[in-house]
């Protein structure tokens, strides 16, 4: 009986090796470019998949490295410490809290430890301290709890940590406990959750000041006077405030975002009074604002915003008013934007963006921006 050959051919065809997809670009191995507006360069710092990264900032965490590190806090309670080497980014995942982290600051708070420490906290009311070592190892320990309150914002002021929580309250944590521990206690109730806060530059002969932006729609100053805390309302809106950014002065300038898409500018006068103005009417849901030098001309005032529109927008002050342009669009909603100095080939600052898309993105002006006297690689 004659047998047909096509079943064998069919089996052979089914067994043929399938073409494999090329691996995704890996920022731990090489710089991974991302599309950005002409005149800007985008690069991937980390891709955290579907896990959002709610806060991103840059600090000099490892003293042994010249380039500052990038710190990202994600929805699963991981603190990502990332250090750079020639465009590559190596992550060190720390803490593993299990619930989102949001509050983040860096400072020499603990006199029992040489150098500065990193502090973070989040949904569970847990307060963590991270300490670097010369070996690139990092110690992480739980140093405090705010029972029944989420830690949203942390400000390191001298040897004290000020914690702003939800429900709205102010807590204080100090390295004064026994056996190297911290003591944490609630100071007062607040009218609303403080979503962002900035320690203002020190002034001779005056107590430290912290500027706060709250969902209650208040921009306030908290003065840490020896005789006690003093609150001053600088501006109030019938809309929640989301983020704050400080412009290098003088004069002292703060930028605040509102949930309805407005961006405001607040300038302190020589007499201590403050003047507020709206400078941008943008899409609803601003969740990040960063001030810095983002133009080759150091005399040009610039500020950037990021939020639920997915877009990083640059605001530039001109002789005819403010203009806005989109410099980058992420794959999902934005949640944080900060200023950094991570590229010495230009004279401008860089931007770090993070959010629901699970990525940290670095945005920089190209080499030679503001450095016209230097040769630049083609």
Confidence of residue 347 (pLDDT cuts 50, 70, 90): very high
Asked if the model's pLDDT at residue 94 lies above 70, the reply is yes
Rama region for 180: left / alpha / beta (φ>0; ψ in -120 to 50; rest): left
Confidence of residue 309 (pLDDT cuts 50, 70, 90): very high
Confidence (pTM): 0.93
Instruction: Give the Cβ contact number of residue 191 at 10 Å.
Output: 12
Q: Which domains does the chain carry? A: 25-200+207-364 (2.130.10.10)
To the nearest whole percent, how much of the chain has pLDDT over 70? Answer: 95
Largest CA distance in the chain: 107
pLDDT per position as a tens digit, 7-65: 444 444 455 556 667 778 899 999 999 999 999 999 999 999 999 999 999 999 999 99
Cβ(232)–Cβ(184) under 8 Å? no
Peptide bond into 123 cis (omega under 30): no
In terms of Cα–Cα distance, which of 195, 192, 201 is closest to 167?
192
Enter the tokens of residue 229. Answer: 């805390």
Identify the band that residue 378 occupies on the pLDDT scale cut at 50, 70 and 90. confident
How far apart CA 124 and CA 98 sit, in angstroms, is 9
Phi-psi region of 270 (alpha: psi -120 to 50; beta: other; left: phi over 0): alpha
């Amino acid at each position: 009986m004659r047998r047909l050959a096509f079943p064998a051919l069919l089996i052979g065809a089914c067994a043929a090796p399938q073409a494999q997809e090329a691996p995704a670009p890996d920022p731990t191995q090489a710089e991974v470019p991302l599309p950005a507006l002409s005149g800007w360069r985008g690069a991937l710092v980390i891709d955290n998949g579907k896990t959002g990264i709610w806060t991103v900032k840059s600090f000099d965490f490892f003293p042994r490295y010249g380039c500052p590190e990038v710190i990202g806090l994600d929805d699963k309670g991981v603190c990502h410490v990332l250090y750079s080497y020639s465009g590559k980014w190596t992550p060190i995942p720390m803490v593993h809290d299990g619930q989102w982290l949001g509050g983040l600051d860096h400072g020499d708070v603990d006199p029992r430890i040489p150098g500065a420490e990193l502090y973070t906290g989040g949904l569970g009311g847990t307060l963590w301290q991270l300490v670097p070592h010369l070996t690139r190892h990092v110690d992480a320990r739980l140093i405090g709890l705010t029972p029944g309150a989420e830690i949203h914002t942390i400000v390191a002021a001298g040897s004290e940590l000020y914690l702003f929580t939800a429900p709205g309250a102010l807590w204080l944590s100090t390295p004064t406990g026994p056996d190297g521990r911290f003591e944490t206690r609630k100071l007062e109730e607040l009218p609303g959750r403080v979503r962002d806060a900035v320690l203002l530059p020190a002034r001779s002969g005056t107590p430290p000041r912290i500027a706060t932006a709250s969902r209650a729609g208040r921009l306030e100053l908290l003065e840490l006077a020896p005789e006690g805390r003093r609150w001053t309302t600088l501006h109030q809106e019938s809309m929640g405030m989301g983020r704050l950014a400080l412009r290098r002065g003088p004069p002292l300038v703060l930028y605040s975002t509102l949930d309805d898409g407005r961006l405001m500018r607040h300038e302190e006068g020589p007499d201590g009074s403050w003047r507020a103005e709206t400078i941008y009417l943008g899409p609803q849901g601003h969740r990040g604002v960063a001030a810095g030098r983002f133009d080759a001309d150091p005399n040009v005032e610039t500020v950037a915003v990021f939020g639920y529109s997915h877009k990083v927008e640059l605001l530039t002050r001109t002789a005819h008013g403010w203009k806005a342009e989109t410099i980058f669009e992420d794959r999902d909603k934005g949640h944080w934007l900060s200023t950094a100095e991570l590229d010495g080939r230009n004279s401008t600052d860089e931007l770090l963006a993070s959010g629901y898309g699970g990525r940290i993105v670095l945005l920089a002006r190209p080499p030679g921006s503001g450095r016209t006297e230097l040769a630049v690689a083609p």
